[in-house]
Chain A
C-alpha cells in the first residue's frame, strides 16, 4: 500500500530535550516536505526536499532541522524544543514534477512541549 508513515503519532516532551520525528514514504517520490498545522493558521511549510541531499527552508524553519540521506526518509529534528513548537506536524511526499502533483500526507504527529 502506497503511504507516508510518521512516528511517533503522539509525543509529550519538555523544553530543551532534543527529539526526532521520522517520516518515510514507499512511493519512490523525489519531493518531501514538513508542515505544521495550528488553529487559525492552517498548514505552514517548515522545510522541503527536492531529492537526496537537497533541502530548503519553507515559511517557518526556525527551530527545526531536516536531513535527506535516503530517498524514502525525511526526519524532522527539534534540537531544543520550546512550547511554541507545540503543534500538529505533517510530512508529505509527491513525485518531483509540478507543484500540483498529488501530495500524499502522513497521518500527523501531535507534539506537546511542556
Chain B
C-alpha cells in the first residue's frame, strides 16, 4: 500500500466551478502537508503548505488537513482555464524527506 494515495483523474470542470482535490495517507507521522502544481512539460511549483490540522487560505486556494481521518484537500474557487495542471500533494514525516502523491490531472474548460 502506498503511503499517499491520490486519484489520478482527469478531473474535468467548467470555468468558475469549485474544485476539490484530495489525498489520503497512512503514515500518522506526517507533519507538513503541501500542494504542488505542475504544468505540462514543467517542474512542480509549491502552491501552499499547512502544518498539522486545520485550514489555510491563499487567494482562491484553500488547503485543509484532517489528521484524524488522514485526509487532506485543496479547494480552488472560481476555477480558471489557467488552473489546468497536475496537482500533487506532498507530505513530510520530519527531516528532509518528502513523500508525493501520484498527482491529479485537472482540466478547466472555458
| A-to-B contact residues, CB < 8 Å | 4, 31, 35, 39-45, 48, 50, 56, 58-59, 90, 92, 98-100, 102-108
Contact = CB atoms under 8 A, between A and B. Distances in A.
A48 B95 CA distance: 12
Given A40-B102, A43-B100, A102 B43 contact: no
25 contacts: A31-B96, A35-B100, A39-B102, A41-B102, A42-B4, A42-B88, A42-B102, A43-B44, A43-B88, A43-B100, A44-B100, A58-B97, A59-B97, A59-B99, A90-B43, A92-B43, A99-B96, A100-B32, A100-B34, A100-B49, A102-B46, A105-B42, A105-B43, A105-B45, A106-B43
A42 to B, nearest CB: 4
B96 A107 contact: no
Contact of A103 (B8, B46, B99): B46
- B6, B32, B34, B44 pick with most chain A CB within 10 angstroms: B44
B92 A107 contact: no
A109 to B, nearest CB: 11
A42 B98 contact: no
